[in-house]
Amino acid sequence: MSLAGNGIRGIVVAGTHSGSGKTTVTLGLMAALVQRGLAVQPFKCGPDFIDPTLHKLATGRLSRNLDLWMSGGDFVRGCFQRHAANSDIAVVEGVMGCFDGGESSSAALAKALGLPVVLVVDVRSMAESVAAIVKGFEMLDPEVQLAGVILNRVGSPRHLELLTGAVNRHCRAEVLGYLPREAEFAIPERHLGLHMGEEAPIRAEALTKLADTVEQYIDLDRLCELAAVVSDPAPVLQAAQCEEKRVRIGVARDRAFCFYYEDNLELLAAAGAELVEFSPLADEKLPVGLHGIYLGGGYPELYAARLAANSSMRAAIRDWSEAGKPLYAECGGFMYLTESIVDLDGDEHPMAGVYPVRARMKKGRTSLGYRQATTVAPTLFGKAARCCAGMSFITRPSTRCLRTWNGCIGWPMARWKGIGSIIPWAAICTSTSGLTLRRYRIF
């Protein structure tokens, strides 16, 4: 199968709400289009580490995050254009409900990229009322091009007849197809969401079955026809390429530390950094010749016993920090720098001990949202009074201050402002509890 026309062809797959089946439909569309022989470039709206790894399972390509609030419109459009340019079609998975998130919503992203929206509607326990939902999504923002609808969890042929009849009578959007309620496809979940793609949570045969189901019940030809062709060149923002590798940065990467944005790593490499991966789980020593360390997020709480058992690496990280060398950590990386992690079973495991606190796991999220950090002293991110954009997804609050902050490398260096809330300062020179800085957007 080939798609005619010049330019970049793409769609945004959005949902009415979280749990509507958006990720299942997106993965099915990607896998089915690949099965047809198309090169599919995946993207994810918003700051998500997990869904992009699932996209890679379905397409064989790295998925890129597109976040208007943290990265800005020019970067987002440039990222989309650059990575979709050598594909047949780009499929962008939305975030939460279509309009959730304001300026960084799926709807806002669709408008910024000039792409149509395909809306996934969970129709379980409804019939003709589906038209009121679709009509509302059409009317809320007329600038959003709601081109098609995919009905999820359809119960019977009669149920489908009632649903499609109502949408056809009252709405502009086309019903592109559906997934039957008996379609069995599940991705294992845990406290931070779905399992990572690297953990192979979806068997190859299950993904093939999902692709076959999409091929059978969804009009892929019409979906490709509705996909917009973006021909206007967007600003392509790229870091200046530095041929000389001027610094070596150790990047912790294993099952415990696996949350990284590829764009961040590529920007570091383009700026002249040699990225050297190491494993706090398996390696006893840091790589030689490092100038800095980057501890990403992930699941240290799931591997706390193994991290604790690797005492030589914990000591190496602590010695590095106490020597005043550059060390940046976020989310799970910050947890590794605390005195200890208390897991969900109440067991306490010693960590690197850079920060005089312990991280205690709790069931459910305690905080989720975008954050702005204003530095009050010089940091790795620049001079004082710089504002950095990031997001937090916290299930693991830090507790029990064991000694004064000035007793370790961290000290009060930033004030944090959340969207709709103010949260306490943290020590940005090494980390923040749960903060992820997306491409370090500096104001």
Average pLDDT over residues 416-439: 35
Question: Looking at the structure, do residues 226 and 292 belong to the same domain, yes or no?
Answer: no
What distances in angstroms separate CA 164 from CA 118, 140, 227, one per listed residue?
15, 21, 21
What's the DSSP call for residue 290? -
Looking at 80-94, 179-193, 261-275, 357-371, which range is the least confident one?
179-193
> Of residues 238 and 49, which shows the higher confidence score?
49
The number of distinct structural domains making up the chain is 2
Q: What pLDDT does 360 receive?
A: 86
Least confident of 26-30, 102-106, 235-239, 405-409: 405-409
> Looking at this protein, which amino acid is placed at residue 354?
V
Highest mean pLDDT among 242-256, 299-313, 323-337, 381-395 belongs to 299-313
- pLDDT of residue 191 exceeding 50, the answer is no
Sheet holding 358-360, edge to edge: 348-350, 340-342, 358-360, 398-399
Confidence of residue 381 (pLDDT cuts 50, 70, 90): confident
Sequence-distant (6+) residues with CB within 8 A of 195 are: 50, 187, 188, 189, 201
Burial category of 158 from C-beta neighbours within 10 Å (exposed 0-12, middle 13-18, buried 19 and up): exposed
Helix (H) or strand (E) holding 313: helix 311-322
What number of residues does the chain have? Answer: 443
Residue 233 has pLDDT above 60, yes or no: no
Measured CA to CA, the distance from residue 253 to residue 257 in angstroms comes to: 5
pLDDT for residue 188 is more than 60? no
pLDDT for residue 362: 77
Q: In terms of domains, do 255 and 380 share one?
A: yes
Instruction: Mean pLDDT check: name the lowest of 26-30, 330-334, 342-346, 379-383.
Output: 379-383
Residues 272 and 382 in one domain: yes
Q: Is the pTM of the predicted complex or chain greater than 0.85? A: no
Distance, in Å, from the CA atom of 20 to the CA atom of 159, rounded to the nearest integer, reads 18
331 pLDDT band (50/70/90 cuts)? Answer: confident
Query: What's the pLDDT at 202?
Result: 76
The pLDDT value recorded for residue 363 is: 73
Catalytic residues, by residue number, are: 331
Q: Cα(385)–Cα(378) distance, rounded to whole angstroms?
A: 9
As given in the structure block, the two tokens for residue 342 are 């208390």
Which of the four pLDDT bands, split at 50, 70 and 90, describes residue 59? very high
Q: Rounded to whole angstroms, how far apart are CA atoms 64 and 46?
A: 10
For residue 360, give the 3-state DSSP assignment: strand
Looking at the structure, do residues 224 and 262 belong to the same domain, yes or no? no
**Mean pLDDT, residues 35-47 taken together:** 96
Predicted confidence at residue 405, as pLDDT, reads 40
Q: Which residues lie below 8 Å from residue 228, measured CB to CB, with a gap of 6+?
A: 9, 10, 11, 114, 115, 116, 145
Closest CA relative to residue 123, chosen from 92, 97, 149, 93: 149
Q: Are residues 138 and 63 both part of a single domain?
A: yes
**pLDDT confidence tier of residue 374, bands split at 50, 70 and 90:** confident
Q: Of 172, 199, 230, which closes a domain?
A: 230
Query: Quick one: pLDDT band at residue 234, thresholds 50, 70, 90?
Result: low
pLDDT band of 203, cuts 50, 70, 90 = confident
pLDDT of residue 314: 98
Q: What band does 430 get if pLDDT is binned at 50, 70 and 90?
A: very low
**Secondary structure (DSSP) of 120-158:** EEE-TT-STTHHHHHHHHHHH-TTS-EEEEEEEEE--HH
What's the mean per-residue pLDDT of the chain?
84
CA distance 175 to 150: 6
Which of 199, 230, 261 represents a domain boundary (last residue)?
A: 230
Q: Is residue 237 part of a domain?
A: no
Q: Which domain holds residue 76?
A: 8-230
Sign of CA dihedral 54, 241, 389, 254: positive
Together in a domain, 299 and 409:
yes
For residues 66 and 77, the answer to whether their CB atoms sit within 8 Å is no
> Which tokens go with 133?
């939902």
Q: How far is CA 148 from the centre of its chain?
A: 25
The pLDDT tens digits for 209-219 are 999 999 999 99
Other beta carbons within 10 Å of 17? 13
Of the ranges 84-93, 394-403, 422-431, the best mean pLDDT one: 84-93
* 162 and 82 part of one domain: yes
Residue 34 lies in a domain: yes
Query: Which CATH number goes with the domain that contains 169?
Result: 3.40.50.300
Distance of CA 281 to the CA centre of its chain: 24
Regarding whether 315 and 222 lie in a shared domain, the answer is no
Interval 102-119 mean pLDDT: 96
CB-CB contact of 429 with 379 (8 Å): yes
> Given 197, 230, 263, which residue is the final one in a domain?
230
Kindly tell me if the per-residue pLDDT of 406 is higher than 50. Answer: no
Is residue 3 assigned to a domain? no
Distance (Å, whole) CA 180 – CA 184: 9
What does the angle CA 248 – CA 384 – CA 238 come to, to the nearest 5 degrees?
50
Q: Do residues 64 and 33 make contact, with C-beta atoms less than 8 angstroms apart?
A: no
